[in-house]
Structure 1
Amino acid sequence: MSQSGLDNAPDEIKLAVDLIYLLESNEVDPETALKALEIVRSDLERKVSKAND
């Protein structure tokens, strides 16, 4: 994706690209990254659930 294409991308795509770059540039093991992302997902889902109550 070109930089101009990324500029027009939705925020979630921009964040995903940033996260992928962060993980790859720090040579994070993919299995470790997936486990960490599950923890992050659970935390964020809990926060969204609280906000919707």
Structure 2
Amino acid sequence: MSQASQLEQAPEHIKLAVDLIYLLETNEVSPEVAIAALEIVKQDMHSKLESSS
């Protein structure tokens, strides 16, 4: 099975992670900046989950 077809079969969160990694790498975002930004995104998504419960 090719990598492309494996990705097509992957769960949504894996597909999103691959897309985000590609976006960060192609825009040459430093790992430190990426991690800081992802922490903010993570906090925001947790807040949305808690408010929707």
Q: Number of matched residues?
A: 52
Question: Following the alignment from structure 1 to structure 2, what is the Cα–Cα distance between the partners of residues 2 and 51?
Answer: 36
Alignment of 1:31-50 (within 5 A): 31-50=32-51
Alignment of 1:1-53 (within 5 A): 2-52=3-53
RMSD: 1.0
Could you state the TM-score of these two structures normalised by the residue count of structure 1? 0.95
What amino acid maps onto 2:42 in structure 1?
R
Deviations 1:6-33 (A, max 9, x none): 0000000000000000000000010000
3-state DSSP of counterpart to 2:10: coil
Question: Following the alignment from structure 1 to structure 2, what is the Cα–Cα distance between the partners of residues 7 and 43?
Answer: 28
